[in-house]
Structure formats: C-alpha cells, structure tokens
Structure 1
C-alpha cells in the first residue's frame, strides 16, 4: 500500500471539497468525483467512498477500479453497488450502519401516529378553516409486524413497543426469544403473520429474495384496516399491486418513504390515493447526518490504514452485514 493511499469520493454535488474529511488530510490523496468523473478518478485508486449512495454510476466505471480494495457506502443499503463485478471481486464492502437506525425508527413512529390520529386530514381541515370533530385511534394495544430484523428493524421495534404496540418480527429464521421482537417468524410463515398485524413495516434489505416480496398475495394476506409503512427500499414492493390494494380498500393506508420508481413521477396514482403519506426518501436524514456519514468513514479509514478489521463489513453473497 502506498504511503499516501488514493481515496475517491463519489459525491452528488453537495459535499464541498474537504468538508468533513479533515482527519484524512496529509494521510491520503482525496479525489472528489461526480458520476461523470468517476471512471477517470478510479484509476490507481485504493478506496472508493460512495458518499452519493443512490448513484448508479459504479457499474459503468468499475472497469477502471482495478486497484480498489475497499468500497464504503454512505448508507445502510448497498444494493446499488453490489454489481456482479463487485460481488466477484476481492474488494471489501462496508456500509454505514449506526447512523440511520434511531432517526428511521422515529420516522416510523411518527407516521404510525399521523395515520392513527388522522393528522393529514387535520392539516387539510385547518387549511380550509373548518372545525370538524371526529374520533381517532389509539396505538397502544395495536399490533405491528416489522419485516427485517436488522439494526433498523430493531430500533423500530423498540420505539413501537415504547408506544404500547405489540411487535413481532419477520426475518430469515424463526425464533421465540428475540430481545427486541420476542417472536420472529420465518419467510414461510409470513402470510399468517401479516394477517395478525395492524401495522406492517418494511425494513428489509433489498436482495434477490426480498425484491417484490410485497405483492398482491402479501397485501391480500393483511387484515382489513391494516396500514403499510415502507422505509426499506421501493423495490421491496410491487407498486402496481400496492396501488390496487389501496384502491380496493383492502389496505387502509400507507406511509412510503421509498417508492418504485424513485423519484415518484408527478402523475403517479400514489400521490392522490386517500390515506397515503409520501416522503422523499429522507426518513434517516436528520440534522448532522452528512457529517456523521463522513465521520464514520474516517474512523473506518483509520482501521484500514492500521490493517485492523473494518466495521460494518457486508457479506456480498447476502447483500448486508451478517448478524444484522
């Protein structure tokens, strides 16, 4: 390894040169590159810091990454970067686990409360200067199924439990002694678990197994009046099937921070369906989150330079950090 390793920072135009990477100054050559500059910047580079975590530029530029040994993604989900070439390479992939868990859990609790208390309608009535009394729901005593038992799913479970909601999980293997979920069901038992829940929260990573898992059958399995919250990936859901379930009324509502396609086109039916709350993929983006992402990378860089085990190493065959 050269005395000054080359670190390429793939940015989205919102990371000023030098911002947050002061700890690396003098210890690495830092190259800032947008998507059009990535291939050129990757030549003879040692590290790629994918600060632009939604970028689709890596497949087209990876041919120039022959010397890259470590790819760090500034997100929990790494699916846009796990191309066949990256999977088959010796490159170590790490993610940003530890930054987004609590903010996303707060978002889910906030959306559950917004739907239960009918806050969107209250806002509309206020804008119309209308005083219209109505009843709302209590969340205490209701039930939730969190699909995805990694760190984000666990943070969601803990916060929903604090609100008095009975929480179960759905993961890769069944168990009854989980510290955060109590009971976790296996994939084969998912339809029965969906039928038990008032709130279904999608927080699973996007893999070949989970892509499109929320389809017509899954929505049909949910109990009448259930609500669906997606903070995982839009591609977990068959969007046309979700639209149909909402139109039929088999789902009472949905809160969607991620959608497919993304961004959602202006004329898409999801915008106007009753009981649907849409946010622009920002559930984890709290004040200071960008600085936290850079700080996490800088800490991992110190470990990498010392030859020590890196934090948050992704199993490229699974698509996420094992044990999460």
Structure 2
C-alpha cells in the first residue's frame, strides 16, 4: 500500500505522521513527513493533514500553535481524548478517528475475559504450574447480567457477543435509544450488575464515573472490566473496593497512567487481570488502520465528506462508522 500523494484537485497536501518507535510501514511519498514528539512542532508549518499514529502521545497540544495550514487531524485510535484540547476544538480543523477497526476484537477480548474469570482459568493455570490436581466448581456465564457502558460500535459489539453466550445485557449510553438506557439510569442498574463493562469514551461526563459511590452500588459478586479509558475509573477507589470485597474482581486493559507503574497494587491483587492496553490489537490491526486512513485520504482529495468525523462538542463520532 502506498499513499497516493498526487492530488486530483491540483495540489499535493503535506501529510505529517506522528509516530513513536512503531511507524506505518506502507505510508510514504515525497509530501509525507515522519516525525516524533520532539520534531512535531518544527514539522507542523505547511502541514495540511496530521496523522496521529502514536495515539498515546500528548504532543499535539503543545505543538498545535505552529500549525498554520492544518485542515484535518486523524488519529489511529477510537478514543480522541488526547486531542480534545481547547485550541483544536475551537478551530476549523476536522478531527477523525479509527472507529470501526477495534469493535469486534475488543468484543472478543471482553467475552474471553468473562469466560476466563467465570471458569477460573487463572486458578487452573496456577494449579498446573504447581503440579496440583485441584478440583473445584466454576460459575455459569449464561443467564448472568452484564451492564455495558458505552453504546458506540465497541459497546454494541460487546453487548451482542455477551448476549450470544447467553448473558442478559443492559446497554447504557449517553441518551436513551432502542435497547439503550440513558446514562442517568446507570445507578439503578448497578445493583444487579454481575459484570460491569466500561467501553465508553472519555469525556467530562464519563471521567471518574466508577468511583467509591458507584462501586458501592455493585453487588459483592460483581466484576469490573475496563476496555475504555483508564480515567473512567477512580483507580484508588477501585483498589479499595477490591481489597475490602466490595467487588469480587476486575480485568483492566487501560489505566490512569500507562504503562502501569511497577509499584501499583493492581499487579498483585487477587482476582485482578492486568493487560497492557491490547484488547483491540489483533494480528494485522496496523494494516487495517493504514487502509482506513488511505480510504479517508481518497475522500479528502476528491472533496467528499470524510468518514468518522468526530463531533467536537461531544468528543466522539455520531452516526455510522464508515
């Protein structure tokens, strides 16, 4: 795959790609600039399109004043919270994301976590490593209640997959819709949530939504799975709830600070699974991200509406993904 840098409408837009050690393998051309956090500011003048390939970076905020020609920013992630700073939000720059790439992989990951925790896979592996024949009973998945917070494509795919294994699923979104509870009904759903899955975007409304108060509404057998953003959870409150038995366990793929510090108590708490922000990263996912960007670049050059345009007043894409 090669970026077609000759524009159909008579100009060749300069494309700057912000990356870390990992960079796109198939995007190149004379008008493509590859930069890191340290060189972004110097590269922004004259840049028309910015691809944020390093979606963990926060460098765009500081470098943004140097952007004198920028018209479109695309991020290789579904979440856009690292790009929703005032200067970009108040500008005419269009923001798009990679919605649609991660839906099914994350749904599979969540479903796998539910089954692994219900069937005590961790205990089986521990016993095997010790050479112990440790018979025990496991939990049923079918018929259990899962509350999934986030009614975008990831949340909907997760809800559908959990329902397919027999779970009763309550889907919660920003506002009510067909099969969706509005977010203000969440406190009433939590007391019967045996599994609470967080797949919401990080906004002013959702930041810290799982805290001491909301954790206290969960039944003691509940488990929490977070595949959204780390800041959806007040991490110290979750640690306290796990220690005192307010909740039975957690599977966390995202954290307030990443990588998770080595001294975090989450590493050693019983009933906790820690994974390194990988729930959507399947084999070939980078190729899919490149393809999505090139498809949108073709739209841009043809003067067509871009896909996955983020509503900057809400912080996420509304409407269909592609």
The TM-score range, normalised by the shorter chain, is over 0.9
- Secondary structure of the residue aligned to 1:140 is coil
Q: TM-score, normalised by structure 2?
A: 0.94
Deviations 1:146-167 (A, max 9, x none): 0000000000011101100011
| Structure 1 residue aligned with 2:5 | none
CA drift of 1:174 comes to 2.5
Q: Does 1:134 align with 2:155?
A: no
Inter-CA distance 279–50: structure 2 relative to 1 (3 Å threshold)? same
SS at match of 1:79: coil
Q: What is the CA-CA distance between 1:2 and the residue it aligns to?
A: 6.2
Q: Note the C-alpha offset of 1:320.
A: 0.3
Q: CA deviation at 1:188?
A: 2.1
Structure 1 residues 1-324: aligned runs within 5 Å? 3-15=11-23, 19-21=25-27, 25=29, 29-175=31-177, 178=178, 182=179, 184-323=180-319
The Cα shift of 1:14 comes to 1.2
**Contact 1:150/1:323 (8 A) holds in 2:** no
Confirm or deny: 8 A CA contact 1:20 1:295 kept in the other structure: no
Q: Which residue of 1 aligns with 2:4?
A: none
Summarize deviations over 1:48-80 as a string: whole Å, max 9, x none.
000111101111111111210000000000100
Q: Contact 1:185 / 1:193 at 8 angstroms: preserved in 2?
A: no
After superposition, give the CA deviation of every residue in 1:5-53 in whole Å (9 maximum; x if it has no partner): 100000112116xx2226xx4xx61000011010111111100000111
SS at match of 1:144: strand
CA gap of 1:98–1:272, structure 2 versus 1, over 3 A, is same
Cα contact 1:43–1:65 (8 A) shared by 2: yes
Q: CA deviation at 1:185?
A: 1.9
**TM-score, scaled relative to structure 1:** 0.94
SS of the residue corresponding to residue 170 of structure 1 reads strand
Regions of 4+ moved over 6 Å: none
Consecutive unaligned residues of structure 1, counting only runs of 5 or more, are none
Q: Give the SS at the match of 2:146.
A: strand
* Matched pairs, number: 312
1:218-240 deviation digits (Å, cap 9, x = unpaired): 10011120010000000000000
